[in-house]
Amino acid sequence: MKKSKIFIIFIIIGLILAFVIGPIFGTTLSKITYDSGTQTISEESDSHFAERYAQPFRLKKDQTCYIRFSNFYPNVTVDLIILTKNSYHDYYETNDTTPTTGLTFILLDNDLGDEEYSTLYRSLTSYDISPSGGTYGNNVRIEFRGNGISSWPGEYYIVVEGFNSYGENDEVKFDINVAVDGPGDTVQNIMMIIGIIIVAIVAVIWVYSILKPKEGER
C-alpha cells in the first residue's frame, strides 16, 4: 500500500474520532440517569418517613441534578423534597418526624415538556402535585444544584411522600426521572483533541515525506 493511502486512512480516522465518535459519546454521556420510571409507595409514607421513596445522588462542582416528576393517578397526591444525606439519615432513624420542606430547588415552567421553551419559574423547598391543587398531570421539571442557583457539591436524597384518596386503595404511584450531569462534554473534548492531533501529526509527516529530498537529488 502506498504511503499516501496510509496517510489518508489515518487522517480519516482522526476526523471520524474528532467529529463523529466524539459527539456521539458526548451526547450519550451528557447525563447519568439514577432512576427512571413509575414508582409505588404506601400511604404510610405520609406519616412514616421510612416508607417514603428515597433516591440518593451525588453532586460534584458545577453539576446539576435534573428531575422530571408527575403523579400517576388523578386521585394521588405526591410531595417531593430534597435533603442532605445527613438530614435524610437523621429523619430515617427517628421515623416519626416528617419534614415538609427541604433544600431549595428550581422549578421550571414546563408543562408541555418542551425543554426549548422552558423558563425559570420559581425557587421552592417542596413541590406538591394534587387533584385539589389543580396540578394533576403536571410533568414538572426540577433542577437542583445543592443550594438554589449556586453549585454546592455534596450527597443528597430526593424524597417523595404521598396519599391516595380513592377508597381503600393505599397505593401511591408516581413517575420520576432523576439524572445528573455526566462527563459527556469532557469526553467529547478529549476525543476531539486526540483526533485533531492525529490529523495534524499525519499531515506534517505527509508533507515532510513529499518535500523531503529523494536520494540522488541532493
pLDDT, residue 119, reads 54
32 near 179, Cβ under 8 Å?
Answer: yes
pLDDT, residue 64, reads 93
Give the start-to-end residue ranges of the domains of the chain: 3-26+185-211, 31-181
pLDDT at 216 exceeding the cut of 70: no
pLDDT, residue 168, reads 77
Closest CA to 83 of 69, 59, 101: 101
Q: pLDDT-derived band of residue 152, with 50, 70 and 90 as boundaries?
A: confident
DSSP SS3 for 41? strand
Cβ-proximal residues to 171 (8 Å cutoff; 6+ apart), any chain: 40, 42, 164
> Backbone phi, then psi, for 71, in 5-degree steps?
-85, 160
pLDDT at 113 exceeding the cut of 50: no
pLDDT at 150 exceeding the cut of 70: no
pLDDT, residue 170, reads 86
133 near 3, Cβ under 8 Å?
Answer: no
Least confident of 24-28, 60-64, 116-120: 116-120
What is the rounded CA–CA span in Å between residue 198 and residue 15? 9
Cell numbers that stand for 98 in this block: 416528617
Least confident of 136-145, 155-164, 193-202: 136-145
Q: Note the pLDDT tens digit of each residue in 167-201.
A: 778 899 999 999 999 999 999 999 999 999 999 99
Q: What does CATH list as the number for 31-181? A: 2.60.120.380
Mean pLDDT computed over 127-135? 73
What is the rounded CA–CA span in Å between residue 137 and residue 117? 19
- Give the predicted TM-score (pTM) of the model: 0.81
Mean pLDDT computed over 93-117? 74
Mean pLDDT of all residues in the chain? 86
Closest CA to 103 of 51, 48, 57: 57
Mean pLDDT computed over 143-154? 78
User: CB count, 10 Å around CB of 172?
Assistant: 28
Tell which wins on pLDDT, 196 or 151.
196
pLDDT, residue 138, reads 67
